[in-house]
Amino acid sequence: MEFGPIISAMRRNKVGAILIAVQMAITLAIMCNALFIIEQRVALSQRPTGADEANVLLITNQWVGNPPDASARLQGDLAALRALPGVQDAFATNSFPMSGGGSTEGIRLHEDQKDATALAALYFGDEHAITAFGLKLVAGRNFNSGDVVDKVGYTDLRGPTGIIVTRVLADKLFPDGNAVGKSVYGAAVKGQTPIIGIVERLQVPWVSAGGWGSKFNDSSMIEPFNFVSVFPFYYVVRAQPGQMNAVLQSAPKKLFDISRARVIEKTQTMTAARAEAYKDDKGLVVILSVVCAALLAVTAFGIVGLTSYWVAQRRRQIGIRRALGATRNAIIQYFQTENLLIAGAGAAIGVALAVSLNLWMVNAFEMQRLNTGYALIGAIVVLLLGQAAVLWPALKAASIPPALATRAA
Amino acid sequence: MFTYYFRLGLRSLRRNMVLTGLMIAAIAVGIGACMTALTVFRAMSGDPIPQKSNRLFAPQIDNWGPDKHNGGAADRLEFQLSYIDAMGLMKARAAKHQSAMYATRLPLRPADAKQKPTKVFVRAAFTDFFPMFDVPFKFGGPWSAADDESRAAVVVITKDTNDRLFGGTNSVGKTIRLDNEPYTVAGVVDDWRLLPRFYDITLRPFGDGDAIFLPFNRAIDKKMRNVGSTQCNGDTDPGWEGRLKSDCVWLQFWAELPAETDVQAYRAFLNNYAAEQQSLGRFHWPPHTQLRDVMQWLQYMKIVPSEVRILILVSFGFLLVCLMNAMGLMLAKIMGRAGDIGVRRALGASRAAIFGQCLIETGVVGLAGGLFGLILTALGLWAARSLLTKEFVALAHLDWADTGIAVLLAVSATVLAGLYPTWRAAHVQPAWQLKTQ
């Protein structure tokens, strides 16, 4: 293929060629960044919590009228929930992964340390917490009933007898391993607390992209407390496999049978909590996908429209070329090469544009750096799109009869 | 002449339906995407209280010191106040109106004892809250300053709460039961929507609002725990008393300062307050305070999520692509008619006349694109509402201003994109065109 005639023809049609190239460049830049965001949000919404999500149920409970026997009521509720048919275990806590609300504690290794060594999400729970969430204990031991005492709201500042931490937190605090048995200091806890156990994983309550929990996603700890609060708390109930629907009905009913002096704001499965927590991420993924598809379609139609016009404009010249012996393939190749040149220029500008757009977003939105692989994939997509879009006008051009050359215009 | 060109424009558009359709579709899709993102953005970044947003201020005081901010804000200031500092500012009464405030959540007992209680957001505030934020009343009014002092069991309820409890009748003087305690209704708020609810944005600023208001001092006496953000730094004493004595920040504070001189005076007052705390030995650092009005506050608190900004960026890029597309197609279309234009020029039409005719033609395309774009915007908003949480889009709806913006944007952008093809058309050489015919 000879590029000479193509380039000199393009120079007579500068504006059209530039328009297509710039369109392709912007399409490429938006598309790679959108794909990159999509990939990140999908990964974000698939992070595990460490819990047996399919079988865990969460009931938001608040007492009415500040009952003096709240501690006994809590134990009564828990005993009833654990005795329900289809229930594996249950416990009461202040928060759960993906709930969006909870408490953070800065953990120090020495008493006089100024800055915390690690931040950790704080969960309260008794010796049933590990089984009720379905966590995996990987070192040390679970709480026993002797470790667990009542905690009357967040302003009750008594220290825990020992804590269970996630593996990520343990590694952060004691990179050399052997965290079990070592002691740490918490910001709100006076005195030192030994680590008695390590669980494989337990996610923090805050999961939004770039949100509060994004810097310490798997760094959590459980303190051995019965959370006796006049404010809302959660019953975490783990159903036996296949029993979820039955427990979803029977658990809140059982609680109301025990006492009506309560507000149960919500009874939801952990699966539903996940869908709710990541709704905006899923929404963004769908919106960006649709926008990408629309962008590609618009660009493709633009190429079809403009190339068709060029074909119509050059009917006579094409006829002459055919009459002089050019094959149909040569005509098709002409338009395809022309498009390849334009798209190639567009892709080159587009890759540069994509990278600078990403750099700007890194600063403005605290995004991650674009993987250059995305820019290359985008460039290939744009080149193929151009080739596909130009095919129909090129075929039309190839069907122009050579006899046209002999007729007057 | 205009109507003639308009009809000519319509006719020429009809002559090449495919090209025209592509152009209009490109513009409509671009406008639709842009307007969807823009409408959401406008709704989220709007001024919640335009009549006095530049007279309401949130003070900030550094009560933690320079080296104690846990990887927090770069300006080393917390966005809420401690109880000690909020009460210090309340006592000074240095502003026309001021109120410390916080939200709590309490079970509201229905009149029918068999019904289950419901939980509602309850805001503890001072009586100044109501005149300061121009809260409209349907029945009754705010509680008195004396009620603030005497920690009276009075409430102001919203219209929704009144509808639910009293069927919308005048309930002033009647009793409601909050968490087993009786409260007398002092006033019923009329329709009042603050979006975003700037005075406490840690609590779903676009979601359901406060249902009930009660005197701040009573809430403190009754140890009503706050919902929303509480940040502590360092050890505190246990219990509610410990919380009140601590440097934990958990209270919002707003002040109304009617004139610029008041603002200057209040800034000086805040610095004096901090200096006084320093001389008392409570702060071991020089005064570090800040005062921001409503719009500055919303920006400071980054009320518009970065997702919305990403969508704005993407959609404007999209519109740009759509317009370039339309420009290319217009160029093709107008240059395809070079022959006609040559004849008109030869028959005596001026360049300006050709220019005007083509401009009107592109305007018609823009108008059609804008109208279709509006339909797509409505569709886009509907999709956004079902795809995203309420926080994002509950308040986004198309109003007359948005409709105007959409049509104006479509027409002006299309005409702008059409300028080059139009200019090319006006410079068609009549002689050359006639020769090749």
So what's the pLDDT on residue A78?
96
Q: For residue A302, how far is the Cα from the chain centroid? A: 34
So what's the pLDDT on residue A347?
94
A59-68, A169-178, B8-17, B423-432: which is most confident: A169-178
Mention every residue, 6+ apart, whose C-beta is less than 8 A from residue B342. Answer: B428, B429, B430, B431, B432, B433, B434, B437
**CB B321 to CB A263 under 8 A?**
no
**CB B388 to CB A312 under 8 A?**
no
**CB A30 to CB B331 under 8 A?**
no
**CB B388 to CB A187 under 8 A?**
no
Closest residue in chain A to residue B117, using alpha carbons only? A263
| Bridge partner residues of B175 (DSSP) | B184
Sign of CA dihedral B155, B159, B165, B168: positive
Give pLDDT tens digits for A270-303: 999 999 999 888 988 998 999 899 999 999 988 8
User: Which chain B residues have a beta carbon less than 8 Å from that of A263?
Assistant: 107, 116-119
* Contact with chain A for residue B31, Cβ under 8 A: no
Mention every residue, 6+ apart, whose C-beta is less than 8 A from residue A356. Answer: none
**CB B329 to CB A306 under 8 A?**
yes
Under the banding of pLDDT at 50, 70 and 90, the label for residue A188 is low
**CB B310 to CB A188 under 8 A?**
no
What secondary structure does DSSP assign to B288-310, as a single string?
Answer: -EEEEEHHHHHHHTT-S-HHHHH
What integer is the mean pLDDT of A148-171? 87
Give pLDDT tens digits for B198-233: 999 887 777 778 999 999 999 999 988 888 888 877
What integer is the mean pLDDT of A109-113? 81
What integer is the mean pLDDT of B267-283? 93
ipTM (interface predicted TM): 0.80
Under the banding of pLDDT at 50, 70 and 90, the label for residue A210 is confident
| Chain B: closest CA distance from residue A139 (Å) | 30
Q: What is the identity of the amino acid at A306?
A: L
Rounded to the nearest integer, the mean pLDDT of chain B is 86
User: Which chain B residues have a beta carbon less than 8 Å from that of A253?
Assistant: none
Under the banding of pLDDT at 50, 70 and 90, the label for residue B235 is low
User: Which chain B residues have a beta carbon less than 8 Å from that of A33?
Assistant: 314
So what's the pLDDT on residue B251?
95
Specify the DSSP class assigned to residue A213.
G
Closest residue in chain A to residue B243, using alpha carbons only? A155
By percentage, how much of chain A surpasses pLDDT 90? 52
CA distance A67 to A259: 12
For B33, the closest of A291, A308, A409 (CB atoms) is A291
Angle, helices A14-45 vs A3-11, to 10°: value is 100
pLDDT surpassing 80 at residue A65: no
pLDDT surpassing 90 at residue B35: no
Give pLDDT tens digits for B46-68: 888 989 999 999 999 998 887 66
Is-cis flag, bond preceding B305, omega within 30?
Answer: no
Of A72-81, B7-16, B314-323, B342-351, which gets the smallest average pLDDT?
B7-16
**Bridge pairing between strands B118-125 and B137-140:** unpaired
User: Which chain B residues have a beta carbon less than 8 Å from that of A17?
Assistant: none
Specify the DSSP class assigned to residue A403.
G
* Contact with chain A for residue B194, Cβ under 8 A: no
Q: For residue A256, how far is the Cα from the chain centroid? A: 37
What integer is the mean pLDDT of B353-371? 86
By percentage, how much of chain B surpasses pLDDT 70? 94
Number of other CB atoms surrounding residue A29 within 10 Å = 24
**CB A16 to CB B331 under 8 A?**
yes
CA distances from B228 to A89, A117, B203, B249, B327 (A): 30, 26, 6, 11, 52
Query: Token pair of B379, please?
Result: 């569709």
Under the banding of pLDDT at 50, 70 and 90, the label for residue B302 is confident
Number of other CB atoms surrounding residue B107 within 10 Å = 22
Of A185-189, A312-316, B131-135, B382-386, which gets the smallest average pLDDT?
A185-189
Q: Does A128 or B411 have the greater pLDDT score?
A: A128
Count residue pairs from A and B with Cβ separation < 8 A.
174
For B306, the closest of A33, A114, A365 (CB atoms) is A365
CA distance A171 to A165: 10
CB A279 within 8 A of CB B388: yes
Q: Does B330 or A132 have the greater pLDDT score?
A: A132
Query: E-assigned strands of A9-99?
Result: 56-63, 87-93
Q: Does B180 or B104 have the greater pLDDT score?
A: B104
CA distance B187 to B162: 10
By percentage, how much of chain B surpasses pLDDT 90? 37
Rounded to the nearest integer, the mean pLDDT of chain A is 89
pLDDT surpassing 90 at residue A170: yes
Under the banding of pLDDT at 50, 70 and 90, the label for residue B109 is confident
A209-218, B284-293, B334-343, B420-429: which is most confident: B284-293
CA distance A385 to A343: 9
What integer is the mean pLDDT of B112-117? 72
Q: Which of B227, B388, B432, B435 to mutate to probe the A interface, most A CBs <10 Å?
A: B388
Give pLDDT tens digits for B146-159: 999 999 999 999 99
Is-cis flag, bond preceding B196, omega within 30?
Answer: yes
Query: Token pair of B362, please?
Result: 């592109």
| Chain B: closest CA distance from residue A186 (Å) | 9
pLDDT surpassing 80 at residue B8: no
Under the banding of pLDDT at 50, 70 and 90, the label for residue B69 is low
Closest residue in chain A to residue B227, using alpha carbons only? A231
B2-11, B79-88, B388-397: which is most confident: B79-88
So what's the pLDDT on residue B344?
83
| Chain B: closest CA distance from residue A196 (Å) | 24
User: Which chain B residues have a beta carbon less than 8 Å from that of A15?
Assistant: 331, 420
Query: E-assigned strands of A163-210?
Result: 163-166, 183-186, 192-199
pLDDT surpassing 90 at residue A203: yes
